Amino acid sequence: MINIFTHFGSQLLVGLGWTLLCSLITLVFSSIIGTVLALLQMLPSKLVHLLCRIYIEVFRNIPLLVIVMFLYLIIPLYFFKINGFTAGTIGLTLYTSAFIAEIIRSGIQSVESGQLEGARSTGMTYWQAMRYVVLPQAFKIVIPSLGNQFVNLIKDSSILAFVAGFDLLYQANAIASKTFDTINSYLVVGILYLLLTMPLSYYMHYLEKKLS
């Protein structure tokens, strides 16, 4: 395992960088999309609610690999060129945002309806009441679930390996093909994933305790 670090350290760092970049982009955009979808589902419009449900159910129930391979293979065939990293990141964002939307929606529904009504009675608009009153309480409720989803997001970024996304798993495959040392190659990458996910997991536990 030490030999892998010694001889392929720069290659692993490249993979780590791409994994982090994909995870950060996905975290930001999936959180935004998921929050918007959750808020839209609270509106009285049946059409808006239906469109949101279609989005959520489609991306929650199709395997992530299928979504990414569709973007990587079909989009360039009929529309425009897209590289593996972009296809993987977009696919992971669409997939993750559907789960985040459900998590936040459940958090919003857990907040007493009187909170929204009270905020509206003070003169706030619907969106202001959601932003300043309901959402802060909803996020506090769903922190454990969001934390788990963020950890899963980092692990799911390994999907980039299937579309030449240059992530950690892609680099592990490349190193294993050169050295024929499959066990140590994947052990090293597993350790690097632990170094990424464990601090985030502990931070989310800390945040949960602090806010409670």
In a domain, 191, yes or no: no
Amino acid type, 166: F
Q: Of the given ranges (80-89, 103-112, 164-173), which has the lowest mean pLDDT?
A: 164-173
110, 143 Cβ separation under 8 angstroms: no
pLDDT of residue 4: 67
Number of domains observed in the structure of the chain: 1
152 pLDDT above the threshold of 70: yes
- As a whole number of angstroms, the distance between CA 138 and CA 121 comes to 20
pLDDT of residue 212: 67
In a domain, 108, yes or no: yes
Give residue-wise pLDDT tens across range 105-142: 998 888 887 877 787 788 888 788 888 888 888 888 88
In a domain, 187, yes or no: no
Q: Read off the CATH number of the domain in which 29 is found.
A: 1.10.3720.10
Please calculate the CA angle 156-161-166 and round it to the nearest 5 degrees.
110
Give the mean pLDDT of 160-175.
85
pLDDT of residue 37: 94
pTM: 0.88
Residue written as token pair 């979504």 = 67
In a domain, 116, yes or no: yes
In a domain, 57, yes or no: yes
In a domain, 203, yes or no: no
Give the tokens for residue 150.
Answer: 């963020």
Of residues 153 and 141, more confidence is placed in: 153
Query: Angle, nearest 10°, between helix axes 2-40 and 46-61?
Result: 160
Give residue-wise pLDDT tens across range 7-43: 777 788 888 899 999 999 999 999 999 999 998 988 8
Q: Which structural domain range is residue 106 located in?
A: 17-166
- As a whole number of angstroms, the distance between CA 170 and CA 163 comes to 9
In a domain, 60, yes or no: yes
In a domain, 134, yes or no: yes
